[in-house]
Amino acid sequence: MNDIHIILHTEWIKLDQFLKFSGAAESGGQAKEAVQQGLVSVNGEICLVRGKKLRDGDRVGFQGQSWSISAPRADE
């Protein structure tokens, strides 16, 4: 599985917003449907909560793709 590193410049982002932001979903509706169908994992477990807050250290998986989320380093 390919891994994409995402730097989060806010304290958190909701799962459905993240899927849209990252390009994994083309629309908010597509993101909502993917979560409701159990196609998205957070930290290795299926997540059915589209409003789940993702924070530094979380990992998201969807359609064979993986994203790791981190806070910006002091020099960024």
Local structure of residue 65 (DSSP, 8 states): E
Amino acid identity of residue 70, one-letter, is S
Torsion of CA 12, 16, 18, 19, to 10 degrees: 160
Express each pLDDT in 33-65 by its tens digit: 999 999 999 999 999 999 999 999 999 999 999
What is the second-level CATH architecture of the domain 2-70?
Roll (3.10)
| CA 18/CA 37 separation, integer angstroms | 17
Where in the chain are the domains?
2-70
Q: Using an 8 Å Cβ cutoff, are 53 and 43 in contact?
A: no
Would you say the pTM of this structure is higher than 0.75? yes
Q: Is the pLDDT of residue 73 over 90?
A: no
pLDDT cut 90: percent of the chain above it:
86
Amino acid identity of residue 18, one-letter, is F
